[in-house]
Amino acid sequence: MKVSAIPAPLPATLADGVFPAGCPSRTVLDHITSKWGVLILLSLSEGEQRWSELRRRADGISEKMLAQTLKTLEKDGLVRRDAQPVIPPRVDYSLTERGRELAALLIPLVTWAFDNAEAIIGGEG
Amino acid sequence: MKVSAIPAPLPATLADGVFPAGCPSRTVLDHITSKWGVLILLSLSEGEQRWSELRRRADGISEKMLAQTLKTLEKDGLVRRDAQPVIPPRVDYSLTERGRELAALLIPLVTWAFDNAEAIIGGEG
DNA sequence: TAAGGTACTGACATGAAAGTAAGTGCCATA
DNA sequence: TATGGCACTTACTTTCATGTCAGTACCTTA
């Protein structure tokens, strides 16, 4: 596993001017770096989960935000929704291939945040 | 079925319950995934830059948000501020070691967002 | 004198994101 | 009858991130 070789250089469009306001990448970036988006994606990276499991695992999320975030991620093709026509309802959520790609990038980031949280926030007060 | 590259496993604390509301990691995550934080970090990953350069490169940012974001990142020990006592004022911003670490993780993410933006947003309308 | 550049700060406004809480339909159990 | 779980939706409210804009201190140029 090679983690930190040379960081890939920025695509040319990013290199100058980072990238223009209002371009699609900004929107995508907003979705995937959203407060709950990251948590959901991360949680699902461990495998298929039901609504109520996600609700528990994404500690503090409201039902509204869970529904809304899942919908956005589903529309973006990152999350797959599998509703089974049973009573009581059972809906399983999982990552798509694209979602797994993303999660693979998110995990090191979150792990880093986790490892450095003390140093960053602790050293602040 | 096998996922192509097995990503680093989540730290135990993340693995169950993702992670608790209100813990420092959440705060750090919010800082580094903030709308402008990512852009500033990315821009600085290309080298030291002045206030007015950053303003231009982070297309669409207001002076207030630039100041605010830079302050947060500086407090978090990700960005170094070097003010020279000259007239007119000259202030250079650069990444700290920790900032460079983070940027190295952010770059693949942003690159991915850039590469997949079309497919994600384009397929939506 | 006035305008312009640099690097900001602070007050106020707004709008989107997030929270709260209640409702929906169906069934199981008591 | 009523309570509770599942997977949501909807209406309303609040919070907060962000935007707008004016002001500051100093010097330069016209």
Residue A18 in any domain: the answer is no
Residue B28 in any domain: the answer is yes
Q: How far is the CA of A1 from the C1' of C15 (A)?
A: 45
Query: What pLDDT is attached to residue A10?
Result: 57
Query: What pLDDT is attached to residue B58?
Result: 87
Tell if the CB–CB gap between B104 and A17 is shorter than 8 Å.
no
Query: What pLDDT is attached to residue B73?
Result: 94
Answer whether residue A42 shows pLDDT above 90.
yes
Residue A35 in any domain: the answer is yes
Contacts of A71 in chain B (CB under 8 A): none
Query: What pLDDT is attached to residue B91?
Result: 95
DSSP letter string over B52-84? HHHHHHSTT--HHHHHHHHHHHHHTTSEEEEEE
- Integer Cα distance of B91 and B89 in angstroms: 7
Residue B89: which nucleotide is closest by CA–C1'?
A: C6
- Integer Cα distance of A95 and B13 in angstroms: 21
Query: What pLDDT is attached to residue B79?
Result: 96
Map tokens 């080298």 to a residue: B47
- Closest-CA distance, A68 to chain B, in angstroms, reads 16
**Contact at 8 Å (CB) between A7 and B103?**
yes
Total count of domains within chain A:
1
Which residues does chain B have with pLDDT short of 50?
1-7, 17, 124-125
Any idea what DSSP says for residue B78?
S
Indicate the pLDDT class of residue A3, thresholds 50, 70 and 90: very low
Is B19 part of the contact surface with chain A (CB cutoff 8 Å)? yes
Residue B6 in any domain: the answer is no
Question: Range of A64's domain?
Answer: 23-122
CATH number at residue A55: 1.10.10.10
A49-74 per-position pLDDT tens digit: 999 999 988 888 999 999 999 999 99
Residue B125 in any domain: the answer is no
Residue B10 in any domain: the answer is no
Residue B14 in any domain: the answer is no
Question: Per-residue pLDDT averaged across A84-102, rounded?
Answer: 93
